[in-house]
Amino acid sequence: MKKIKKIAITGGTHGNELTGIYLINKFLKNPTLVKRDSFKTFLMHTNVKAIKQGTRYVQRDLNRTFTQKELENKSLKTYEDILAKKINKELGPKGSKNPNIDFIMDLHSTTANMGLSLGVNLKDKLSLQVATYVKEHIPELKIYSWRGELKDASFVSSISPSGFTIEVGSISQGILRADIFFKTEKLIQTILDFFELYNTNSLKKTCSQIDIYCNAKIIDFPKDKNGNIEAMVHPNLQENGYLKLKKGDPLFVSLNGNNIYYEDITEVYPIFVNEAAYYEKGIAMFFTEKKTIKI
């Protein structure tokens, strides 16, 4: 078993998601909070300019710039593309056999009601092991795979050999909430505790399987030919991330008050429902399928 020598906690990848930003601030002022004996913890505000502006990004979404292809493309000149190469050099480089960081947890928040969530890569066995441990200690945690089958993901957490995204919500953009802040901090501490036990061969046997909500389909809002939204997320679904959706359940409601129903026979569990940041991406929600994964 290869020991984990250095872990990075990153925040501010989206400059208007304050929970992660202020947790990094807290840890920078009190580094003993994230200190463990068997590894070093590195702290980073990833998109400082967006943080200062209070915007999600400056020119493009930083959390979509870390594919190997884009990192190697010198013709990409946006602020975030240049920044991604700098971060990759500092935390990676991506794909290296001897990266600077072994594990990255990237802190995010969402306007969707998803509670505590971990976004994992299904092929990252260490992250699945971490998620299983955390789930046992924080039962309300949900685990989802965000394009987990991709060999070359575009997220900050994909720079290191293992890592994941932490999503907590619902919370509006640009604000702090004490309950969200401390729940996220508890989650971080539990993850750090796992690695201390992992490195010292002190882990007790965990479950051999875990339920994961696997990304299946992107769903946009119903729109007219000009791209204008014609229907909203149905109230039954609005505050219910991970709610089982079956054929005949209301999905959207038109501006005139007419329900639009889910028509597929496959049961799905929507996540990132009505996420504010995804309007520009043409996403109303993601459909996931609940699967039991063996660890």
Across the chain, which has 295 residues, the per-10-residue mean pLDDT values are: 94 98 98 98 98 98 95 96 98 95 98 97 94 96 78 90 96 98 98 97 84 95 97 97 97 98 97 98 97 90
> Which pTM was predicted?
0.95
- Into how many domains does the chain fold? 2
Is 294 a domain residue? no
Q: State whether residue 32 is helix, strand or coil.
A: helix
Please name the residues in contact with 163: beta carbons below 8 A apart, sequence gap of 6 or more. 103, 104, 105, 106, 124, 127, 157
Do 201 and 244 share a structural domain?
no
Is 28 a domain residue? yes
CATH number at residue 28: 3.40.630.10
Q: For residue 115, list its beta bridge partners.
A: 169
Do 16 and 133 share a structural domain?
yes
Asked which of 182, 207, 232 is the last residue of a domain, the reply is 207
Output the pLDDT for position 160: 96
Output the pLDDT for position 294: 87
Is 260 a domain residue? yes
Is 212 a domain residue? no
Domain that holds residue 241: 217-287
Cα within 13 Å of Cα(271), Cβ side: 25
Is 33 a domain residue? yes
Per-residue DSSP letter, 245: B
Output the pLDDT for position 265: 94
Output the pLDDT for position 21: 98
